[in-house]
Amino acid sequence: MPSLFEYPTTRRFLLGAGALLGGSSAVRLALGQAPTPPAAPQEAAADGKQHVGHQTSEDAHNTHDGMTTVGEVDYERNGFDPHDILTDWDTGTASRLPDGGTLREFDIIAEDKEIEIAPGIFFPAWTYNGRVPGPTLRVGEGDRIRVRFRNFGSHPHTMHFHGIHAARMDGVPGAGNVLPGGEFTYEFDAFPFGCHLYHCHSVPLKRHIHKGLYGAFIIDPDPARHIELADVARSRVLGSPENALWQEFVLVMNGFDTNFDEENEVYAVNSIAHAYSKRPIVVDRARPIRLYVINLTEFDPINSLHLHANFFDYFDHGTTLTPTLKTVDTIMQCQGQRGIAEISFRDHEPGLYMFHAHQSEFAELGWMSLFDVRDDAQQQTRKG
């Protein structure tokens, strides 16, 4: 009988071989590693900021037969941590315009950079500001946005924003396409409010997106423009007292074709396989959760989000203040689709609650995560 490793190393081969080995993950099979106990706990802060912590016991780690990558990704080498990306809002440099409006200025650099997407698995990425996904740009409805984009990469690149703007600011070939060593300034007013994105629109488009040139672009609603739902609008405005009652996280769903056969071998949210399984996202049971969910997976027509043991309200594209779907536990998104999911665990007991893609292949290859739901009394200052 031929050796397993005489066959082509495709994602489907890895999954099949993993099943033969009793449910081991494909990445673990590829690395030839066995499960290890979780690291020491890291706790959530008592200051109301969102943090993440490890599962608290080996039993919890093995609840699902340890279906997770083995080893640790070097986040320092990568230059970014997926746990920081959850709440790392870039609001730019703000100043006042002559008409009294707000100008927000951003500096974005495209550069080639190798990143580690799973323990020992490296990917030759193209990045915005050295990370995948790029910085989460967060602004207010009606703000004037000015983005100075410089291309330090090896190929032409752009920044195409999903939103309303002039054709000359569209970030496509002929309108903001930047050659290596060049720069371009995009300027437009932020409309409509919602959960949006930006990405490179140079050709071949599928490679420029897949290589990592994308990020979240969130426009908070202006309560003064939505008097009938002003309280709801204020709850989405970063820095407002109403917004402080929420626990907000950005989840960019993505995949990586590590052998360039136009099939993804690794899936994740915020780029690192099983990052939030190995270090679950700590949340306060008493406070609602708002997820900004964006699909930027290439080579697969659909990605999805499924929540265990609970339901949520969903705002497609985030452009409404009332839900477009109520009481659902699974949503699907094509590439470029996005939305806001609002969740409450107030009536649940504390514990670990899974959320993941409901394509089993995606979950096994990295898109599997956990919320660590706790009471206030259980939250302590984060260590380390």
Summarised one tens digit per residue, pLDDT across range 309-345 is 999 999 999 999 999 999 999 999 999 999 999 999 9
- Give, for 356, the enclosing helix (H) or strand (E): strand 351-356
Radius of gyration of the chain (CA): 21
Biggest CA pair distance of the chain: 77
The sheet with strand 330-334 has its strands ordered as 51-52, 281-284, 368-374, 351-356, 302-307, 330-334
From 26-30, 349-353, 373-377, the region with the lowest mean pLDDT: 26-30
From 60-69, 98-107, 342-351, the region with the lowest mean pLDDT: 60-69
Q: How far, in Å, CA of 121 to CA of 61, rounded?
A: 22
Segment 120-124 shows an average pLDDT of: 98
pLDDT band at residue 169 under the 50/70/90 scheme: very high
From 53-57, 80-84, 110-114, 374-378, the region with the lowest mean pLDDT: 53-57
Q: How far, in Å, CA of 170 to CA of 238, rounded?
A: 27
- Residue ranges with strand state E in 235-301: 247-256, 266-269, 281-284, 289-295
- Burial zone of 31 (CB within 10 Å; 0-12 exposed, 13-18 middle, 19+ buried): middle
Q: How far, in Å, CA of 204 to CA of 182, rounded?
A: 19
Residues 16, 360, 78, 146, Cα dihedral to 10°: 140
* Cβ partners under 8 Å of residue 376, min gap 6: 284, 285, 286
Tell me: the pLDDT tens digits for 367-380?
999 999 999 734 44
Residue 116: its pLDDT value, please?
98
Helices (H) and strands (E) in the chain, counts: 9, 22
Q: What percent of the chain has pLDDT over 70?
A: 81
The full length of the chain comes to 384
Residue 24: Cβ within 10 Å count: 21
Please name which of 93, 92, 103, 33 lies closest in space to residue 68, comparing C-alpha atoms: 33
Question: 132-158 burial by CB neighbour count: b if 16+ within 10 A, else e?
Answer: bbbbbbbbbbbbbbbbebbbebebbbb
Q: Is the pLDDT of residue 362 over 70?
A: yes
How many angstroms separate the Cα of 79 from the Cα of each of 208, 249, 271?
A: 21, 20, 13
Q: Indicate the average pLDDT of the chain.
A: 87
From 51-65, 143-157, 215-229, 263-277, the region with the lowest mean pLDDT: 51-65
For residue 71, report the phi and psi dihedrals to the nearest 5 degrees: 100, 180
3-state DSSP helix/strand/coil % of the chain, to nearest 5? 15, 35, 45
pLDDT band at residue 38 under the 50/70/90 scheme: very low
Please name which of 135, 116, 127 lies closest in space to residue 157, comparing C-alpha atoms: 127
Of residues 60 and 150, more confidence is placed in: 150
pLDDT band at residue 67 under the 50/70/90 scheme: confident
Strand partners, 35: none
Strand partners, 150: 109, 183
Q: What percent of the chain has pLDDT over 90?
A: 80
Task: Say how many Å lie between the first and final Cα of the chain, rounded.
Answer: 50
